[in-house]
Amino acid sequence: MDWRRRTALAALFTTSLLGLAGPSLAAETRTVAVTAIVEHPALDATRDGIKAALKDAGFEEGKNLRFIYESAQGNPSTAAQIARKFVGENPDVIVPISTPSAQAVVGATKDIPVVFTAVTDPVAAKLVTNPEKPGGNVTGVTDLSPIGRHLDLVLEITPKVKTIGTIYNPGEANSLVLIDLLEKEAASRGLAVKKAAAPKSADVLQAAQSLVKSVDAIYVPTDNTVVTALEAIVKIGRQNKLPVYAGDTDSVPRGAIAALGFNYFDVGRQTGRIVTRVLNGEKPGAIPVQGIEITELAVNPGAAEAMGVKIPDAVMARAKTVVK
pLDDT tens series, the chain, 324 aa: 443 344 344 443 433 433 333 333 346 899 999 999 999 999 999 999 999 999 999 999 999 999 999 999 999 999 999 999 999 999 999 999 999 999 999 999 999 999 999 999 999 999 999 999 999 999 999 999 999 999 999 999 999 999 999 999 999 888 999 999 999 999 999 999 999 999 999 999 999 999 999 999 999 999 999 999 999 999 999 999 999 999 999 999 999 999 999 989 999 999 999 999 999 999 999 999 999 978 899 999 999 999 999 999 999 999 999 999
In this structure, the answer to whether residues 53 and 134 fall within a common structural domain is yes
Instruction: Give CA–CA dist 155/163, Å, rounded.
Output: 11
How far does Cα 69 stand from its chain's mean position? Answer: 14
Residue 293's nearest CA partner among 322, 272, 267 is 267
Residue 2 in domain: no
Q: Give the Cα separation of 289 and 133 in Å (integer).
A: 8
Question: What is the reported pLDDT for 27?
Answer: 62
310 and 213 both lie in a single domain: yes
Please indicate, yes or no, whether residues 308 and 200 belong to a single structural domain of this protein: yes
Residues 206 and 80 in one domain: no
Same domain, 217 and 316: yes
Shared-domain flag, residues 114 and 165: no
Q: Could you tell me the residue range of the domain that residue 157 belongs to?
A: 147-261+296-322
Q: Dihedrals φ, ψ of 104, to 5°?
A: -65, -45
The answer on 316 and 214 residing in a single domain is yes
Separation between Cα atoms, residue 139 and residue 95, nearest integer Å: 10
How far apart CA 207 and CA 124 sit, in angstroms, is 26
Helix H or strand E segment including 321: strand 321-322
Are 158 and 233 members of one domain?
A: yes
Residue 58, phi-psi category: left (phi > 0), alpha (psi -120 to 50), beta (remainder): left
Give a yes or no: residue 136 inside a domain.
Answer: yes
Is 222 part of a structural domain of the chain? yes
- Confirm if 220 and 230 have CB atoms less than 8 A apart: yes
Strand partners, 67: 32
- 314 and 192 assigned to the same domain: yes
In a domain, 310, yes or no: yes
Q: Are residues 253 and 118 in the same domain?
A: no
Q: Domain of 165: which CATH number? A: 3.40.50.2300
Report if residue 82 sits inside a domain. yes
Same domain assignment for residues 127 and 166: no
Residue type, 198: A
Q: Within 13 A of 14's CA, how many CA atoms are on the CB side?
A: 6
**HSE (CB half, 13 Å, CA atoms) of 252?**
24
**CA dihedral defined by 118, 166, 258, 102, rounded to 10 degrees?**
10
Sign of CA dihedral 71, 145, 218, 245: negative
Q: How many domains does the chain have?
A: 2
The span from the first CA to the last CA of the chain, in angstroms, equals 78
- In sequence order, the β-bridge partners of residue 119 are 142
Cα(188)–Cα(176) distance, integer angstroms: 19
Residue 291 maps to a domain:
no
Distance CA 268, CA 36 (A): 12
Within this chain, do residues 301 and 217 fall inside the same structural domain, yes or no?
A: yes
Q: Is residue 64 part of a domain?
A: yes
pLDDT score, position 52:
98
Chain centroid, CA 57 distance in Å: 21
Contact status, residue 47 vs residue 75, Cβ threshold 8 Å: no
Residue 240 lies in a domain: yes
Residues 6+ apart with CB under 8 A from 41: 250, 251, 253, 254, 264
